[in-house]
Structure 1
């Protein structure tokens, strides 16, 4: 097969895969573990922090849904930004997002190995980290269908666990639990709803934003979906209830059942709640769920990073060898290139955890906010253009352009909050270093670009018409 033939991803993801991948995409390990730190530093008002961050993530997902359903054949959402802002936008978003996920892959492998070490203490953590990365790499290399099937079941476990948690928690709060009466007293006792002040609510938004990353995954699966426009539209329209139920709902349960300053909150709030309710084997159950969440993020990270690199290579922003596919339609070289960085980061986690690995984590932490900012600006510029070129948009951003402007200003405000927070400013600075490096890379690459402004080609429009039919 020649390169041109190889550059066509196969459509093997069914609507059920895309839907469950999207639902599970918002349930990362961060919600099971990281939420404790937010509750501890914010109090019961952490519910508001999660609500605001969830709304912002929902707006970004809606914008991407609008762009993706208008151009569903694109290999990654960096192409939507390229159409709106030019080559620099597509280049910057693609490489920043790729960088975020290849580092996230290593972090998830290390975290998952730590849980397995609890059950198998005789096996070194570094060996299990590498083993998990190899296992998920093989899943992705085999075919996109195998990735979709594995992710479907990972997501199903996470969703089931959260739903059961919500049911048990609501039963306790509403007084359906044995020897328990209706009570919401933990929301206002122990120092009040916001014991650390109103400012803590807005500072809590910053770490929560990183926890809700994943709502945009559905737009990346479009190029390999059997019915991309239908799958994307369905998944994007369900983002509201997913964020409200899984994030805001579960945090509300935690702060109602336990005092915000409970000793177990900071470590693992979900385990603490289940223990408090007297559920046998709570530690083992939640360890298994968190392990599933970590493996799911690891699996998705390999998929996302490889498709981003594939899209970049298709536009000449990465070596052309990364567009080659195997017989099952998987971009093997793009997957393996991402795992190389994963292996190096895992090695750094054990040989230089406080220098190299810490720098990698911090330098990638904020880049998603830069990506979201560029996506919002791209949607702002593309809306009028899309309405002229297409008769009807299947997904529309609400209250355009006002909510788009609100999202842009909110992301900028979060970056300002990080700059004024002594614990987060180093992460912002290191992530800005990553942004500068990518922009320098673009400057080197720029001389090879055509001066023709990117447009939605007639071929693209024809494909979209066929999908509409």
Structure 2
């Protein structure tokens, strides 16, 4: 790999925004808004605070040492090879299954315009296209991703402008809505439980920002670039999401939102803009494709990191700037995921795919647990550049909050299977590592003990 990266603050920021702003916000946020009512704004602000803490913690470790594999490598340094192996493969597997499902979702949306479209064929073609685009290299990909991210951001900004015009009466021959539906709605229809119940979905709408860490080795001047990219990412996400929800609330009663219709479409249709459905459908397709492109970027680099440590087949090792073997391997994995949808019973397939959300939250828990130990051992990054305020309290606060959100998954309809599928993944990969480790110790005629199998003796915090 090249030691001199090309990615700028703009590239990293747009890559992160392109990853995060996807179907979870344009479509999935309906349930979170319905659950929390107008109080959803608190959920998004709180979620933004957690994102800031997690990203800043990741930034501190990355500034101190740019490592391929990012949080996977840092976790291994702090807690040993078992943790490094498990988090790497759980993250890759969950994301692979989730993105194969997203390819199918895009195919379903495309059927709006092409009724006779073969969904499995289209999903496979989408995966092939996403894979080939990733082979072009980080700079070309992030340039494309920047364009797609701008389309998504423009759609949200356009919605904000239209909604604001209706609220303030700037639309000709239309009276000002003012507070509109918000005037007759309770702020917290389900109390604190509604806020708590919305947090899981809110975190999913923010998920994907960790891509900045995986892209760090390819960044230009990481000490300067990464902290600023993180600042702009958090500012952009929290700002866009919060303002969009503020102007949405007067347009439509939160109790009328459903998971089948984007809240942005519901709001615009409520004020008479029926043409918004087709336009937002196109934006939703772009949003998902953009997320898939960025996810593939991260998965390819995670596979390379695993292969370099001997945690994946040696033929996946790749010293080029672009981890072509990891990208192609991830593409094949996504094609297998699409195939499973037609081979396995639907209940089992949905059970497996639901692990994607858990995998991301699990990665964030590992990041915070790693940061806690990293700072305790190493102090601040070089030159005393501590970015995260009030350590260790902020680190522990985010860690506990994330664990609570994970534990709450069974309380959200359809998310309980995600927790159980994710825990099964963790167990399977943990057992797999210990079996592989025990065999290698036997082969080397070394003593086998629980400590040697787990690899505590290989922890290297420096």
Same fold (TM over 0.5): yes
Return closer, same or farther for 1:313/1:349 CA change in 2, 3 Å cut-off.
same
Q: For residues 201-240 of structure 1, what are the structure 2 equivalents within 5 Å?
A: 201-240=195-234
Tell me how far 1:8 sits from its aligned partner: 5.2
Q: Return the alpha-carbon distance in structure 2 between the equivalents of residues 388 and 219 of structure 1.
A: 17
Tell me how far 1:242 sits from its aligned partner: 1.9
Tell me how far 1:24 sits from its aligned partner: 2.6
Q: Which residue of 1 aligns with 2:460?
A: 454
Q: Which residue of 1 aligns with 2:443?
A: none
Measured against aligned partners, the alpha-carbon deviations of 1:139-172 in whole angstroms (never above 9, x if no partner) come to 1123222322221111111111112222222233
The answer to whether the 8 A contact 1:61-1:236 is kept is: yes
Return closer, same or farther for 1:276/1:311 CA change in 2, 3 Å cut-off.
same
**1:403 aligned onto 2:390:** no
Q: Return the alpha-carbon distance in structure 1 between the equivalents of residues 181 and 153 of structure 2.
A: 26
**1:273 aligned onto 2:273:** no
The answer to whether the 8 A contact 2:377-2:461 is kept is: no
Tell me how far 1:310 sits from its aligned partner: 0.7
**1:349 aligned onto 2:341:** yes
Among 364, 369, 377, the residue aligned to 1:377: 369
Q: Which residue of 1 aligns with 2:189?
A: 195
Q: Return the alpha-carbon distance in structure 2 between the equivalents of residues 247 and 316 of structure 1.
A: 41
Tell me how far 1:388 sits from its aligned partner: 6.8
Return closer, same or farther for 1:186/1:145 CA change in 2, 3 Å cut-off.
same
**1:392 aligned onto 2:380:** no
Q: Return the alpha-carbon distance in structure 2 between the equivalents of residues 149 and 197 of structure 1.
A: 44
The answer to whether the 8 A contact 2:64-2:381 is kept is: no
Q: Which residue of 2 aligns with 1:243?
A: 237
Measured against aligned partners, the alpha-carbon deviations of 1:69-123 in whole angstroms (never above 9, x if no partner) come to 1112434321122222222222222112111221122022111111212111222
**1:69 aligned onto 2:60:** no
Q: Return the alpha-carbon distance in structure 2 between the equivalents of residues 266 and 438 of structure 1.
A: 35
Q: Which residue of 2 aligns with 1:180?
A: 175
TM-score for the superposition, normalised by structure 2: 0.89
The answer to whether the 8 A contact 1:24-1:159 is kept is: no
The answer to whether the 8 A contact 1:15-1:227 is kept is: no
Q: Return the alpha-carbon distance in structure 1 between the equivalents of residues 345 and 458 of structure 2.
A: 46
Tell me how far 1:251 sits from its aligned partner: 2.1
**Higher mean C-alpha displacement, 204-213 vs 174-183:** 174-183
Q: For residues 354-365 of structure 1, what are the structure 2 equivalents within 5 Å?
A: 354-365=346-357
Measured against aligned partners, the alpha-carbon deviations of 1:411-451 in whole angstroms (never above 9, x if no partner) come to 12223322455653332122111111121122234455693
**1:147 aligned onto 2:141:** yes
Secondary structure of the residue aligned to 1:334 is helix
Tell me how far 1:301 sits from its aligned partner: 1.5
Among 100, 115, 120, the residue aligned to 2:109: 115
Q: Return the alpha-carbon distance in structure 1 between the equivalents of residues 62 and 223 of structure 2.
A: 8
Return closer, same or farther for 1:303/1:9 CA change in 2, 3 Å cut-off.
farther
**Higher mean C-alpha displacement, 246-255 vs 421-430:** 421-430
Q: Return the alpha-carbon distance in structure 2 between the equivalents of residues 263 and 87 of structure 1.
A: 46
Return closer, same or farther for 1:82/1:263 CA change in 2, 3 Å cut-off.
closer
**Higher mean C-alpha displacement, 370-379 vs 262-271:** 262-271
Q: Which residue of 1 aligns with 2:451?
A: none
Q: Return the alpha-carbon distance in structure 1 between the equivalents of residues 289 and 192 of structure 2.
A: 36
Number of residue pairs aligned between Structure 1 and Structure 2: 446
Unaligned runs of 5+ in 1: 1-6, 457-469
The answer to whether the 8 A contact 2:31-2:257 is kept is: no
Among 431, 436, 457, the residue aligned to 1:440: 431
**Higher mean C-alpha displacement, 420-429 vs 156-165:** 420-429
Calculate the aligned-residue CA RMSD, in Å. 2.4
Secondary structure of the residue aligned to 1:451 is helix
Tell me how far 1:295 sits from its aligned partner: 0.3
Q: Return the alpha-carbon distance in structure 2 between the equivalents of residues 213 and 82 of structure 1.
A: 22
Return closer, same or farther for 1:438/1:196 CA change in 2, 3 Å cut-off.
same
Q: Which residue of 1 aligns with 2:89?
A: 95
Secondary structure of the residue aligned to 1:118 is coil
The answer to whether the 8 A contact 1:58-1:239 is kept is: no
Secondary structure of the residue aligned to 2:135 is helix
